Structure 1
Amino acid sequence: MTNPKKLAIKDFVYELPDKRIAKFPLPERDQSKLLHYRQGQIVDRTFTDLPQLLPPHTLLVFNDTKVVQARLLMQKETGGLVEIFCLEPVAPHREVQLAMQQTGSSTWKCLVGNNKRWKSGPVKLHFEGGILEAAREAQQEGHFLIRFTWDPAELTFAEVLERCGRLPLPPYLNRDLTPDDHTRYQTIYANQQGAVAAPTAGLHFTARVMHQLQAAGMDTAYLTLHVGAGTFKPVKAEVMEEHEMHAEQLYITRTFLQRLLRQLDNPVIPVGTTSMRSLESLYWLGAKVLEQPELPMQQLHVTQWQAYESTNPPAATNALQALLAYMDRQGTDYLHASTQIIIAPGYTFRICRGLVTNFHQPESTLLLLVSALIGENWRTVYKHALDNGYRFLSYGDSSLLLP
């Protein structure tokens, strides 16, 4: 496997006019355009055509994370506002699912707007039937540790955010939240609270498309990767070696792993880059526990370059079976891990055979991932999309990429 450390991000640039960024969703989710790319050929379709375009016996894998209302507009004693954006939990739990169920108080890694104006003391937010307080505990590189306490203390942090937080729209939409966003910036299958950005490739799916998938003999399965704000992190380094990938939390059940193992002779196609990163990370987690069978679960982590440094990668079947055996030894039916995997040109796919995805920003790690899948043809695909009126980014149109 070629190591992409020396890749220059300037080689992954294209001209994206602001007017091509979809600022609002279409009235109907599944009426978006679908660019069908198969072995170098491009055809323009509509998203409702997807079930007919997938290879026979495909397993579509969805990310069922749910976006939380992670933006908090807090008030200082002087009346001024401070915006706090919750990124990830730190204490008493680092695991998102547990942190969401935490009562009374919790410490999170956060971004703070107007921090210079926040001189001292806690900031507060009154909500129906309660109050949330936030105090700065420490400043770290690029973020703060914020300790939240709330009353009534028996509320979970998920309930607190539900009552007083705001949905975090992607920064490039550059507009205020509308009531519509609360439903449209979630997938219809969103289930596990914890993301601060939606897995947007899934926004096109409707009950109608799900029914058509079933009728066409396609199978579906769900995993959870909580999308972090790092998904929007621009690559500022000239070469990828100097760019640190963001880590995201991943949850997998035993039944999902068993289903995946049975599928390996047939196409596994992820819906979205987060599902793809999760599936490929599973393989590398399996490779890791094959080498270190007694690895503690809190060390289940895929590093940024692990995939490129492996000298003797196992077969996919062996890697997944190793994870199941690891779960047996740990006496658990689900795995919690984290991943910083970077999928870039030079990567060899172990699980995925295609991708359903939106169109991504220039000079982004998501564009590197698309290039890893379809090579230099990403340029042809993006030029076609720009020349043919496709809408870009989170609320934009979709593509089915089959190398």
Structure 2
Amino acid sequence: MTTAPTQPGQPALVLRDVVARDAAGAKATARGMLYGVSLDLGATDVAVVGAIEDGTLALAEVLVGRFRPDRGTVRVQGKDPFNAVELRCRIASIGIDPALPLAASVLASVDLATSAWPSPVAAADVLARFGLGALGPRAVASLTASEVRAVEIALALAIPDPALVVALEPFADLSMVPRARLEEALAERARVCPVVAITSSPADAKRFGRSVVLHRGAFARSTEGAHAGLAPALDASLTVWVSSGARELVAALSRDPAASSIAFDATTNDADAHATSGILRVSGKDADALALAIADATRASGAAVTAVAEGAPGLAEVRAATEHELRSRQLASQQMRALEMQAQAQMMAMQRAQMPGPYGMPAPGAQPYGYGGAPQQGVPAPPAFSPQARGKEEPVVSPSPGTGDKEPPR
């Protein structure tokens, strides 16, 4: 059984020894599985970092009640989401394959979805919260995948009195929804119910105060704070988006010792070097010195920088760090077990040494006189035991001549 750390207070979400699988493979076979995971969560947010092969999709499906786990229990506010229909209406789900109820328009589709809620909300209000009012009159079939996902996000985060929020890759394909608005909405929900964000992006996981690594179907480790805890500390890394003058910015940065490495990916390659745009990934020993170097180089080169973001470890680096930690734990456990067995063997040897041998004499290897041959205080020395000493104490009766094995006359 693998267990993520328990949150204080009464948990609203409880998983116990859950074994489950998804049906995302060919012919509905499993791509990922869960192997006896346990989790307790109250009103808080947590990011679960992993790939589908690690069991992320299987976790999302049992949380929202789409599938029943093969073994174990899932409880949301004390109820099984697979069996409790009224509970599922209060579970907000954001998936990777968005879908809306078929209707004549987006407004009608949203009205149909909200009709199952305990307290229905006006469809126009649902769309307006994320600035999607213009999509209302359009036909559902005319929406792009990004637009459908935007409407699904708006629906999921408008549920009144939510019991749970499960967001699978919440920050993917957000062309229609401002990222800051989505972060704010998830933070609001985390004050009243558990919010589980499942993602394969460590950069997205850093937006949450706590991250749990799902590795090969088990919760391998947990970290709090910045994403740096997901992987070993590396050099500081900043990503810079440049709309023009990218090559000149690279040249200026290369002369600053704070930048130890620069990777440049040109998005346009104009004949005029100053018109070149692209993305720079700059690394250095100190993040503050690196940011200052980028600011100085931008001013000196005249480049147009549109955004700067802190770099994050990739999923491969998180997996490598997780494997290293698991092997370290296994080695430490083996060493502890070896020490315990050695201590047990020493204790058994001492107990055998204290046990009396035949005729009340010390057992072979015992030291009745104390360690180093010194007599123990208060312990008398045992009498000498030899044929000569025994002959002096009691006579030895031998048969008379000629009697053979017969007993002597009495």
TM-score bracket, shorter-length normalisation? under 0.3
TM-score, normalised relative to structure 1: 0.26
Give the TM-score normalised by structure 2: 0.25
| Larger gyration radius, structure 1 or structure 2 | 2
Which has the larger strand fraction? Answer: 1
Higher relative contact order (CA 8 A, sep 6+): 1
